[in-house]
């Protein structure tokens, strides 16, 4: 992506690497993540306005620990080290890092020392920060002064104002650090002297121009799932090239209630965009393939493979296209090991290889530089309806993994109706944006119940709602009991085949957000 200025994050395996980059972008400055293995010459060529070193799980003084050349701190570019990054800065520049006599973890009262410095400008002398370290800086490097401490940590922060080098032991990127956003703003905007001109409206217009230049009069094919990423990509491409775009929407019958029709209402013949739209109603085909299959991974594989087959059949009808568009976003790039150093979390289908089942010349990924919240902003900028832009996260295999055991048309109907009621009642209570993800799932348990004067033997629906920052960990949301009672009552009264409703209190870990 073309941009005039950027701050880069050098990743040493920290769990918050993406969060650091997002916080920088919240300062309206473009930011990218690179591994600590990135050569210094490549860093120089990027000409960043600032550099941030992330945390990491290692001890910087141990043999083989991730490190970086001293030259990084001699480029004349402001550098901010966070946690491990702070310790590494001190270690490389002649300070001393040792095992801490007292490990600090969690919210910690911190005191700003001496005269105000540029990093802590307008920060109170006493503040709360988030600590997570078992090593500590026992001696600062020559030229540095201590600018913050805690009761157990003599160097909570240190600075060399002359060279614009800053080391902070805590994590300003997490919300638990009360003034974390202000500290990062001070570094990114004031110390790095950035203009703060990176905004979503300019991203949309610039990207539309880039797409037009790249595509020319070529044809583009997109597999439209109806999820946020592919929908925003479809809208972006539609604005750029109109009828040169063909969207194939495979409705596998495992979507949420009315979702297929909603996608068609936006992108279909009577929708907001002048594109070629093909909807394939393949529900029965999927149900036939899934008949008798109970094992979760096998279900995933069947659903994924069948999608490829259906998409391939439609693509062959279209013939050769010039470009295949994919909704890859920045976390996909980072988590696939291509943009940072943290442990690879998933092998995303959008990254690392080109499909061999479509006849095309090149792949394009216009959203590749955006985080999910930025994709949503782009969607609003492009005029997509809010219900689509802020749609709940939804797994690729759809309801296939929210139905425990065999998938049947009846079970899909049950979970669709129950989920619809759940979402509707949370919206009625003004809670639809409180949990980060919520849905109804169908257990494989059937039990005896009493409805009217009759005994029943029906399914149990499980309600799930979680709150999370990054989906790496999650806690069950505290939905008011009265709301849960109303949801329960409506599901049992309105959804045939259900006589019990349960609420899942499991956190992640040990559980997962989804059921299978």
Annotated catalytic sites, by residue?
Answer: 83, 171, 173
Name the helix (H) or strand (E) containing 3: none
Print burial letters for 8-39: b (CB count within 10 Å at least 16), e (below 16). Answer: bbbbbbbbbbbbbbbbbbebbbbbbbbbbebe
Give the residue ranges of DSSP H helices in 186-295.
Answer: 200-215, 228-241, 259-267, 283-290
Hey, what are 496's tokens? Answer: 């045939």
Hey, what are 131's tokens? Answer: 């600590």
Cα 195 → chain centroid: 26
- Strands 126-139 and 96-112 turn out to be antiparallel
**Upstream peptide bond of 431 is cis (omega within 30 degrees of 0):** no
Hey, what are 137's tokens? Answer: 């800086």
Distance CA 149, CA 163 (A): 21
Neighbour-count burial of 385, counting CB atoms closer than 10 A to its CB (0-12 exposed, 13-18 middle, 19+ buried): middle
Distance CA 466, CA 190 (A): 37
- Strands 454-467 and 50-53 turn out to be unpaired
Sheet arrangement for strand 220-223? 276-281, 245-251, 220-223, 321-325, 360-364
Distance CA 339, CA 332 (A): 9
Neighbours of 418 (CB within 10 A): 28
- The length of the chain in residues reads 516
63: CB partners within 8 A, 6+ apart: none
Contact between 492 and 499 (Cβ < 8 Å): yes
Contact between 240 and 345 (Cβ < 8 Å): no
């Amino acid at each position: 992506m073309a941009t005039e200025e950027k701050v880069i994050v050098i990743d040493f395996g920290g769990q918050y690497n993406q969060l650091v980059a997002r916080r920088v972008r919240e300062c309206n400055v473009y930011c990218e993540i690179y591994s600590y293995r990135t050569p210094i010459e490549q860093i120089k060529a990027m000409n960043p306005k600032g550099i941030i070193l992330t945390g990491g799980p290692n001890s910087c003084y141990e043999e083989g620990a991730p490190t970086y050349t001293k030259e990084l701190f001699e480029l004349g570019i402001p550098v901010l080290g966070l946690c491990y990054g702070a310790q590494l800065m001190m270690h490389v520049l002649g300070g001393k890092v040792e095992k801490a006599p007292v490990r600090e973890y969690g919210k910690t009262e911190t005191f700003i020392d001496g005269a105000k410095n540029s990093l802590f400008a307008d920060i109170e002398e006493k503040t709360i920060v988030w600590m997570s370290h078992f090593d500590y800086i026992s001696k600062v490097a020559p030229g540095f002064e201590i600018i913050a401490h805690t009761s157990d940590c003599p160097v909570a922060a240190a600075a060399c104002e002359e060279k614009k080098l800053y080391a902070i032991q805590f994590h300003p990127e997490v919300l638990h650090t009360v003034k974390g956003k202000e500290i990062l703003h001070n570094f990114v905007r004031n110390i790095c002297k950035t203009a703060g001109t990176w905004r979503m409206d300019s991203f949309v217009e610039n990207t539309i121009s880039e797409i037009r230049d790249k595509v020319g009069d070529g044809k583009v094919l997109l597999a439209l799932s109806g999820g946020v990423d592919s929908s925003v990509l479809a809208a972006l491409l539609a604005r750029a090239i109109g009828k040169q775009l063909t969207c194939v929407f495979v409705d596998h019958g495992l979507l949420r209630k009315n979702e297929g029709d909603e996608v068609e209402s936006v992108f279909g013949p009577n929708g907001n965009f002048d594109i070629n739209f093909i909807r394939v109603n393949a529900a029965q085909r999927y149900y036939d393939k899934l008949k008798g299959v109970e094992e979760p991974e096998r279900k995933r594989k069947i659903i994924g493979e069948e999608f490829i087959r259906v998409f391939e059949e439609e693509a062959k009808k279209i013939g050769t296209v010039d470009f295949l568009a994919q909704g890859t976003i920045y976390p996909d790039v980072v988590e696939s090991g291509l943009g940072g150093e943290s442990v690879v979390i998933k092998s995303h289908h959008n990254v690392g290889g080109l499909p061999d089942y479509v006849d095309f010349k090149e792949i394009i990924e216009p959203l590749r530089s955006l985080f999910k919240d930025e994709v949503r902003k782009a969607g609003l900028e492009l005029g997509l309806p809010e219900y689509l832009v802020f749609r709940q996260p939804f797994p690729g295999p759809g309801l296939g993994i929210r139905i425990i055991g065999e998938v049947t048309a009846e079970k899909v109907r049950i979970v669709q109706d129950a989920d619809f009621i759940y979402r509707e009642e949370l919206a009625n209570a003004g809670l639809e944006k409180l949990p980060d993800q919520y849905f109804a799932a169908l257990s494989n348990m059937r039990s005896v119940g009493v409805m009217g004067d009759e005994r029943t033997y029906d399914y149990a629906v499980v309600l799930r709602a979680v709150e999370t920052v990054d989906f790496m960990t999650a806690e069950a949301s505290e939905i008011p009991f009265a709301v849960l009672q109303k949801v329960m009552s409506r599901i049992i009264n309105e959804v045939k085949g259900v006589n019990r409703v349960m609420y899942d209190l499991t956190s992640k870990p040990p559980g997962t957000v989804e059921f299978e």
